[in-house]
Every structure is written in structure tokens, then in C-alpha cells.
Amino acid sequence: MKIQTKLSTLLVAASLPATALAVGPSVANAGTVAVTARSVAVDTVARPGAPGKPKVVKLRSSDRRVTASDSTFRPGVTEFRVVKTAHHGSSLAIVETDNLDLAFQKLGKAISGAPGSADAMKAVDRIITAYGGGANGAVWQVELSKGTYYILDNKTNKMTTFTVRGERRSATMVQPDSEVWTTKQNQFETSGDLTGEWISFTNHSREIHFLEASRVARDTTAKDVRQSFKSQQEPTFGRPGGFFFEVQSPGIETVHRQSVEAGKYLLMCWMPSEQQDGTPHAMMGMWHLVMGS
């Protein structure tokens, strides 16, 4: 089956040698990022009675670098907005890890499908914590704790960091109109039809997942999907349209601002399995048909 149209940032980056991953200025100076007086006043000092709105951070990428509108801010619910990407189809992802090189080495082995790839993916799930992401125009909210985080671009392989420190913000996530979650059995479930402006995506499983929603014909059945996965031909039920939520680790919840056109969608995850060598989650049954309205 060839319906998938997008690869997670982690999968693309892991296919490259470590030397190909370009590090932005703030990575080279991680832990010594200069903070302006205004940043200290606004983001480090608690302000009693301030509105409980999420911190907004705007992300941009180009052929030369990845940037964030703030390099240091307080913990709590943060709203990321991808306002520009270097290329069509680029997506940005937020990850946290103490050893990015090792994580990419392990992930490279995981996507190779060679013997031991499942164990390598299991190591990745322990090394990296992923907090979602998206393509140009993407907006999502996620709760962050203190630490240093990477922003990765899946097309240019550029990256940068930001630091979360200080007192926790009191903001809460927006109430979603629809909900999608993964189960401990690596399945997708939904609260019903995908509708409204905001969709939550929660990973209740034990592995890293992303969500690719491909639009399909309204009369597409589960039998059609199963047969297409057994075939190497492009399915006839595919239709233009869909959306994509970047990688998330177990226990992470995000809420995405995502308009969904009326129709039927096939939800899939193509991350490598940590249970079977050389097998992506979708080929193990991690897909779900759902209506959008």
C-alpha cells in the first residue's frame, strides 16, 4: 500500500548520518543562551492575576536555520505556531533527549528493518520524548516541564533548541472539539466524528506514534483497507486531502487547531515497531477509519 504521503521528522532525520544534521547557533551554546531583560521579566517572574493563556512560540525554518520566537520561557502549556517552513512538505517536531546522536543512531537501525531493529526502536522510545509538531500553518498546544528541547526540520535537517525554566504557568489547554488517542494495544480510537476547530491527540500506548490522516472515498471499508495493505499497488480509494500530527511519546497529550473537511479519513501510524523487526505500526493494524464533518 502506498497511500502514505508524509514521513515523520524523526524517520527522515534518522536516515541521515549524524554529521548531516545541522545544528543552529542556540544548540552550539546550549545551556548558555542569553536571555534579554524583557524575557526575564515576562517569562521567569510569576505575575499574580495574569490571564491563564498559553505561552505562544512561533517557529520558522529556512534552508539555513530553524528559529523560535523565544529561546527561554516558563513551564506549562505552550502553543506552538509554525509560521514558515523551508520547503513544501516540511514539518517541525519538538523533542527532548540527553543524547540526540545516540537516538538517531538507534532510530536509523530501527527503520532499516534489519534483525535487532525492534530492540533499537525500544531504545529510541526510552531515549527520546517527543511533543508533537506539524507542517507550515500548524498550531498545537502541549504542556512542557523544565528542560532543554530541540526543534527539528524534516527537510533541511536543521535544528535549534529552546530552554524551559522558572515558575510554572497556570494556563490550561483549549477544550478540544474532537479526540483521537492511541491504546496500549497500538490502536487508534476516537471520540466520534472529527469535527470542530481543535482535535486532541493523546498517546496512551508504550511506543512513539504519529498520526497521518489520509482522506479516502466515503464508501471505503475496513476490508478495502486490509486488502490494500496486502498489495503493493496504490489503492483506488485514496482522495486528495488529509492532515498530519508529528511524533508523540507515551503519556503526551497535544491539542491541534485543525479544520477537517467533510468526508472519510484513514488514520495511520508508520513508525517502526518495537515488537517486530522491520514492521511499521500500520502494517500491524494501527489504522482506523473515521468520518470528518
d(CA 284, CA 229): 10
Query: Which residue has 502494517 as its cell numbers?
Result: 283
User: Could you tell me which residues are beta bridge partners of residue 209?
Assistant: 248
Q: What percent of the chain is helix, strand and coil (3-state, nearest 5)?
A: 20, 40, 40
CA 232 – CA 218 distance, rounded (Å): 22
Number of CB atoms found within 10 A of residue 200's CB:
20
Average pLDDT over residues 63-81: 97
Counting Cβ atoms within 10 Å, is residue 103 exposed (0-12), middle (13-18) or buried (19+)?
A: buried
* Predicted confidence (pLDDT) per residue in 152-162, tens digit: 999 998 999 99
pLDDT above 80 (res 45): no
Distance CA 118, CA 278 (A): 7
Q: Per-residue pLDDT averaged across 56-74, rounded?
A: 97
**Predicted TM-score (pTM) of this structure:** 0.85
| Nearest Cα residue to 138 out of 67, 81, 85 | 81
The residue-averaged pLDDT of 33-55 equals: 48
What's the sign of the alpha-carbon dihedral 147, 257, 40, 50?
negative
Measured CA to CA, the distance from residue 43 to residue 71 in angstroms comes to 11
**pLDDT single digits (tens) 193-241:** 999 999 999 999 999 999 999 999 999 999 999 999 998 788 999 999 9
